[in-house]
Amino acid sequence: MESKSPFKSDILKGKVALLTGGGSGIGLEISRQFGKHGASIAIMGRRKSVLDSAVSYLQSFGIPAIGLQGDVRKQEDAKRVVELTVKQFGKLDILVNAAAGNFLVSPEDLSPNGFRTVLDIDSVGTFTMCQEALNYIKKGGPGRSSTSGGLILNISATLHYTASWYQIHVAAAKAAVDAVTRNLALEWGTDYDIRVNGIAPGPIGDTAGMRKLGPEEISNKSREYMPLYKLGEKHDIAMAALYLASDAGKYINGTIMPVDGGLWLSRPRHLPKDAVKELSRTVEKKSRNAPVGVPPSKL
C-alpha cells in the first residue's frame, strides 16, 4: 500500500525541477512526488533506456516530464542539460543532485582510479551541476523574480559522520558534498538568495544502494541496532525533499537533514536492558561505601 503525502497537492505548482539520478531509486521517487505536487520535471542520466522508462512512468501520473541524457562528470553535458530544461519549461527553480556511485571495497583493494571515479560523480558532479544551474536559479535569472532565488538540494549520506566499513571512497565523496552544500548556502544564499540544503538518507529499501551494499537486505542482528527497527522507504526521502522545496522550508539554508531513523547515532547494546537496574544498584552501593576525601599516601 502506497504511503500518502501529508502535503497539499499544489505546494510546488508552477515550479520546474531538474534531478540528476532522477531516473531510478530515490531520485525517481523524488521526481514523482515533486511532479505529483505540481512541478514540471526534467531528469538527467547516462542510460537512455532508464530515462525513457522513467519518463513514461512519470507521465503515467500526468506529470510533465522529460529525460535528458548526460554525464554529470562532463561540464559540457551539465551545461547542455540545464539549457535544455530551461528551453523546454521556460525556467529552473529546483536542482536536485542525486547522481551517485557506490560499491563495497576494502581500502587496500581500492584503486586511486576507483576512488577518483566516485568523487567525480558525487562531489565534482554535484559542484558542476550547481555551477551550470546558477544563472537560472539565482534571483533575477531567466523566469525568476528579482527578489527571490531557487533551491539546490544535494543527496548525501551519514557514512562520514563516524566511519563505515568498506566505504572510504563514498564517505570521502559525501563529506565533500556536505562541504559544498554548506559553502554554497553561505555564499549563494548571501549573493543570490539561493537556498542550498542536503538530505542524508540511511538504508532505504528497494534501492540499488541496498542491493549493492546489503544483497540480503539487513540481517536481523543488524536490524536490532536500528532505533526504529526497520529500513526507510524512498517515500521518506521524497517527503523530506518536498518539505525543503516547499514554502514550509523557506528559511532553511545550509542544513543537511539525516533521514535514517537515527541509525547514525546507534551502537550495539553493551548491556541487556533488564540488567541495567541491577548493575546501577551495585555501582551506587559501592560508590556510597567508598571512602570520601583524599586517599592516604602510600609513602
Q: What is the pLDDT along the chain (299 residues), one digit of tens a residue?
A: 778 899 999 999 999 999 999 999 999 999 999 999 999 999 999 999 999 999 999 999 999 999 999 999 999 999 999 999 999 999 999 999 999 998 889 999 999 999 999 999 999 999 999 999 999 999 999 888 788 899 999 999 999 999 988 999 999 999 999 999 999 999 999 999 999 999 999 887 665 555 555 545 444 455 566 665 567 789 999 999 999 999 999 999 999 999 998 888 876 666 676 776 776 777 677 767 766 665 565 65
Cβ-contact 261, 232 below 8 angstroms = yes
Task: Identify each DSSP E strand in 46-108 by its residue range.
Answer: 65-69, 94-97
- The answer to the question of residue 155 being in a domain is yes
- The answer to the question of residue 137 being in a domain is yes
Task: Say which amino acid occupies 127.
Answer: F
- The answer to the question of residue 161 being in a domain is yes
* Range of the structural domain that residue 115 is part of: 16-268
Backbone torsions φ then ψ of 237, nearest 5 degrees: -70, -40
How many Å from the N-terminal Cα to the C-terminal Cα in the chain?
A: 75
Q: Which CATH number do you get for residue 85?
A: 3.40.50.720
- The answer to the question of residue 149 being in a domain is yes
- The answer to the question of residue 74 being in a domain is yes
- The answer to the question of residue 277 being in a domain is no
- The answer to the question of residue 281 being in a domain is no
- The answer to the question of residue 188 being in a domain is yes
pTM listed for this prediction = 0.86
Single out the residue of 32, 34, 72, 74 nearest to residue 53, CA to CA.
Answer: 32
Task: Report the number of distinct structural domains present in the chain.
Answer: 1
